[in-house]
Structure 1
Amino acid sequence: MRKQYQLLLAELIKLGNQLNAPQLSTIRLIIDKLNRNEDEVNLDEIRQINDGLYPPRGGLGEYYIWDDDYETRMGLNEPIDKAKAITWEILTKE
């Protein structure tokens, strides 16, 4: 799970802009929590923090990189979409 958040952070830093500052802070907080509590990850706490990445407007749910070339656009968005899907799958397991 840490790897997925690190990937999200790297991609947002590389391709995002100042509008992504709240998401960057939230992802850094999650990574910090995962690093500090490696043996005992509190998934409830991570879920709660992760919810902050998806507010009604302007969160990662709406994050999409546009390029006029379809293949380029898909290639840019694929790692982000996969990381979001993997973290969602982990955090929604009961």
Structure 2
Amino acid sequence: MALDLLPWRELGWSLVLGWWAGLLYDICQLLGRQARRRRWARTLLDAVFWLLLTATLVFFLLQGWTSELRLYLFLGMALGWYLYRRVRRWRLLSRK
């Protein structure tokens, strides 16, 4: 009986996607700090964040995740986001 490794591979990629989401969010936050007084710029950055994140998720779904959203994929993305925030976030945001 062969071991099906597809769910583990999908979980690994969902961790990567969560890490990417955290990085993308912080980049948009840094750019938003530069445009403090321009409300339209922050709105535009929010839209860019969600468009890029959604496009990446759709790409992963259609290319590698058998076009199914499963609970463990959302849990993996949440864990990837959490790991990014714990490990790397302070280094990116501490730079000026």
**TM-score normalized with structure 2 length:** 0.35
Q: Decide which structure has greater helix share.
A: 2
**TM-score normalized with structure 1 length:** 0.35
> Which has the larger Rg?
2
